[in-house]
Amino acid sequence: MNPLFNFDTMPTRPVVQGPLTGSDVLSVSQFDRDKIEYIFARTREMREMVEQAGTFDLLGDKVAACIFYEPSTRTSSSFISAMQRLGGTVIPITSGVSFSSVSKGETLGDTMRVLEQYADVIILRHPQVGSAKEAAHAASVPILNAGDGPGEHPTQALLDLFTIRDELGQIDGLKIAMVGDLRFGRTVHSLTKLLLQYDVSLRFVSPEILRLPLNLMNSVIDAGVDVRETHSVDDVIKNADVLYVTRVQKERFTDLDQYEEVKNYYKITAETMEMAKEKMVVMHPLPRVGEIPDAVDSDPRAAYFRQAKNGMFVRMALLAAVLGRA
Amino acid sequence: MNPLFNFDTMPTRPVVQGPLTGSDVLSVSQFDRDKIEYIFARTREMREMVEQAGTFDLLGDKVAACIFYEPSTRTSSSFISAMQRLGGTVIPITSGVSFSSVSKGETLGDTMRVLEQYADVIILRHPQVGSAKEAAHAASVPILNAGDGPGEHPTQALLDLFTIRDELGQIDGLKIAMVGDLRFGRTVHSLTKLLLQYDVSLRFVSPEILRLPLNLMNSVIDAGVDVRETHSVDDVIKNADVLYVTRVQKERFTDLDQYEEVKNYYKITAETMEMAKEKMVVMHPLPRVGEIPDAVDSDPRAAYFRQAKNGMFVRMALLAAVLGRA
Amino acid sequence: MNPLFNFDTMPTRPVVQGPLTGSDVLSVSQFDRDKIEYIFARTREMREMVEQAGTFDLLGDKVAACIFYEPSTRTSSSFISAMQRLGGTVIPITSGVSFSSVSKGETLGDTMRVLEQYADVIILRHPQVGSAKEAAHAASVPILNAGDGPGEHPTQALLDLFTIRDELGQIDGLKIAMVGDLRFGRTVHSLTKLLLQYDVSLRFVSPEILRLPLNLMNSVIDAGVDVRETHSVDDVIKNADVLYVTRVQKERFTDLDQYEEVKNYYKITAETMEMAKEKMVVMHPLPRVGEIPDAVDSDPRAAYFRQAKNGMFVRMALLAAVLGRA
């Protein structure tokens, strides 16, 4: 027996049986209002902890694998920081994936079955719809979906919703306008689905070719939500409590002329902000490429960097929750 | 003097003078039965520790550099997790290597001489035979060879052997069949060399063009081992205690027609398993690309994912051992 | 409230108001002799700590983002090890950057504004001159410039100066010869600027086309330093206390014929060393590509690997200093 290795002093840390213990986080459809409230309460605790102490040893016995089949500096960085601020460690697999196991022909399921031998939780970003579900089917450790192509990006939707709630104190009763690329904008779709559980008014502002997909629009209508579509920010800016602005994603276009035509269609300038309510928030999932000029950043209603920070807190809450520590 | 920096409370941790303290791990030829037993005993402790506590601060004062000149998600992930579960940290250099120091014309020796300034141990994967030895010649900190091209991959061979021992309780007396690409399969070569120290029977099952290399076959014969070569799994399946299956590695072929011809030659299906002993283990170094269908995974004799997990425990044992903590 | 989450036992760690607390490290021009002495005193403490204990929990509450827009294994590895040896953690963004946020059109400023939500300090390497300053303008957390193209590389200059001081006990009074590519050699430029604060003699040895840039040469002359330019190492080797040798950087040349012509112009061999003083140091920022053969490594005057190690200690000192822990 290794004399440096004393099993008597090796603690088994307690597991809390919370509502997400051992669960995957694959889709916003998993989150009802109770679960959302639960995660948001944990998120606020995480924020308080980081502000007070920076890091805390809640997950010091845990290792996360963070595997990104497509790069996303923002999302991977916030997950990595989230895990590390809770005392856990990360296996970063954020590049080269396509040249390694994948090029050798391994299935996603097998990659998950191997990674779960090394890690207690797997954070997965993958370009294909349904990949997170497929991964969760294969793995017995929790899978956190960090975006599966045009499919789901539940942690982004939760951080968006948390930001609305945190900035305005409530969700029910709000008038929320989504602006920009509503057709391909995954974050818009996921957030919209979450919002259908609340008593909100929705305004969808986009160029014709980037309107909300039919089936999602029908879900909104079926939910009995007060909803309108429009082409102009001017139609919504006066009454909106939340302006959720998105980038027109160049990489989703096959016709670049069409992209050039619409990309600057919906710019939120200081002048736009003058028309808005005094207590209103401008959000953006970032990166932005001109939709909101830097000059707007100093406006107290510009919440997009606070929103990014909330992403770290929400992911801390989710990591703690699925690992049985919240 | 920095008031936060108290040298009196700064512990120098003890060093254990074990059989591998300060050593490199370059080749299976370094490991006799005593050293193997020693590492396997440490490996079992590591497993018990992880199951009980997840992580343990045995290497909290150590930093490992993990430098992979060719990607290998599996091997790098298990080394990274191994180091982190022992409380150590990792400098991950798992991509971009070819575009940095290397493209500037630096020798491998110099890269090692620099990395050892920052790290207490270097984990090296390199496409060229002999590179690990070259690295060890240059560096004074321990080098762990994580695969040097068609050369050695000693940690894989150790985890394979550990799995056999762990699944079946012994190694002597076993009938072990190697199946698939025996010509280019580095893991087959390394495991075979280790097995020559034990009293085993060996069966090599491959297509004609992928037979075991001449010199290795001669070593097996010289060792006086009971050995046979065959083309068919059917010839060995009834008596085998271990079926070690390998992927036909596409990247080793220059003629793709030849690859297509042999790639599915040796498939282990549920029907194959029916012919096998009740107490038998199917192993695979992974990734698999069709040699073993997912349907076999639920068979208790399918040991390949446990084998992958053992890789982490063996690497924990080796890290602790070379760093003087086991 | 999470029962595992006790805010009463969550310490807010003290902040030391040192001369660099909260500062960016962008340029050598920030460092006067007092600040240099301060950092060097901290650097020696860091070395003593690493030698005694390996790691120390000084920055256990901190997370660093290490973002490299161009790869540099050496610099990123030493920063990562520096942070980890102080108990801090690192978000490694050392590859794939160009394919992620950047390809989506995000500005450097926005990338910094997002990263500072997750990290307490940002270590930045970027190919464009002025990028570190631009980043510091955007971010409120400290930015450590790890090289901005042909611009500044202040941590390299500090480690170079520390090495001279550490090897020879002083800086004033020394005869320092810079050899090789003095035109594009960023490390030569930064170190020269730092040395202008000391009473040194400078000798610049280069082929005609790689002479020190005009404006820097003028600064040296204006500072009243004893200075000469020459084409031959022979002219300086007998009297030099420091021989600072640099690689002719292939990637800076557009005409490869010109590169071939000059690349081996200034080789420091064992024979060269015989002409040098007994107490003299050969330095090199590395990587080397033939300027100094391996045979010279065993000469006690060959300081380049100690110099590399000093890089880690200097970066530890800087990280602690800007984060208010030194």
**Identity of the residue in B91, B99, B113 whose CB atom sits nearest the CB atom of C81:** B91
Q: Output the CA torsion sign for B288, B290, B293, B299.
A: negative
Contact list in A for residue B84 (CB cut-off 8 A) is: 63, 89, 91
- 3-state helix/strand/coil string of chain C: CCCCCCHHHCCCCCCCCCCCCCCCECCHHHCCHHHHHHHHHHHHHHHHHHHHHCCCCCCCCCEEEEEECCCCHHHHHHHHHHHHHCCCEEEEECCCHHHCCCCCCCCHHHHHHHHHHHCCEEEEEECCCCHHHHHHHHCCCCEEEEEECCCCCHHHHHHHHHHHHHHHCCCCCCEEEEECCCCCCHHHHHHHHHHCCCCCEEEEECCHHHCCCHHHHHHHHHCCCEEEEECCHHHCCCCCCEEEECCCCHHHCCCHHHHHHHCCCCCCCHHHHHHCCCCCEEECCCCCCCCCCHHHHHCCCECHHHHHHHHHHHHHHHHHHHCCCC
| CA distance to partner chain C, nearest, from residue A137 (Å) | 28
Pick the residue of B55, B309, B322 with the most A CBs within 10 A to test the interface with A by mutation.
B55
How many other CB atoms are there within 10 angstroms of residue B43's CB atom? 26
CA distance B226 to chain A (A): 34
Kindly give the parts of chain A with pLDDT less than 70. 1, 95-104, 252, 263-265
Stretch among B7-11, B62-66, B109-113 having the lowest mean pLDDT: B7-11
Secondary structure percentages of chain B, helix, strand, coil, to 5? 45, 15, 40
Average pLDDT over residues B150-173: 96
* Of C54, C80, C312, Cβ closest to residue B62: C54
Closest of B123, B121, B32 to residue B69, by C-alpha: B123
Whether residue A48 lies within 8 A of chain C, CB to CB, comes out as yes
pLDDT at B99: 44
Position B257 scores a pLDDT of 85
The ranges of chain C with pLDDT < 70 are 1, 95-104, 252, 263-265
Q: What is the pLDDT of residue A265?
A: 66
Residue C55, chain B, CB below 8 Å: the answer is yes
Q: Is B87 on the interface with C (CB under 8 A)?
A: no
- The whole-number pLDDT of residue A247 equals 86
Which are the contacts of A18, defined by CB distance < 8 A and separation ≥ 6?
A38, A321, A324, A326
- Closest among C66, C119, C59 to C87, alpha carbons compared: C59
Neighbours of A (≥3 Cβ pairs closer than 8 A)?
A: B, C
Average pLDDT taken over every residue of chain B:
92
| pLDDT tens digit sequence for B5-18 | 788 888 899 999 99
Helix (H, G, I), strand (E, B) or coil at B90: strand
Amino acid C99: pLDDT: 44
**Which domains occur in chain A, in start order?**
14-152+311-322 (3.40.50.1370), 155-309 (3.40.50.1370)
Residues in chain B closer than 8 A to A95 (CB atoms)? 94-96
Contact A187, A156 (CB under 8 A): yes
| Residue among B138, B156, B141 nearest B286 (CA) | B156
- Say if CB C198 and CB C224 are below 8 A apart: no
Q: Which of A42, A85, A125, A263 is catalytic?
A: A125
Write the CB contacts of A214 (distance below 8 Å, at least 6 apart in sequence). none
pTM score, two decimals? 0.95
CB-based contact, A251 to chain C, within 8 Å: yes
The answer to whether C137 is a known catalytic residue is no
**A64 to chain B: closest CA residue:** B81
Catalytic annotation, pick one of C21, C35, C44, C74: C74
Q: Is the pLDDT of residue B296 over 80?
A: yes
Nearest Cα of chain C lies from the Cα of A257 at a distance, in angstroms, of 17
How high is the pLDDT of residue C98? Answer: 53
Of A85 and B261, more confident? A85
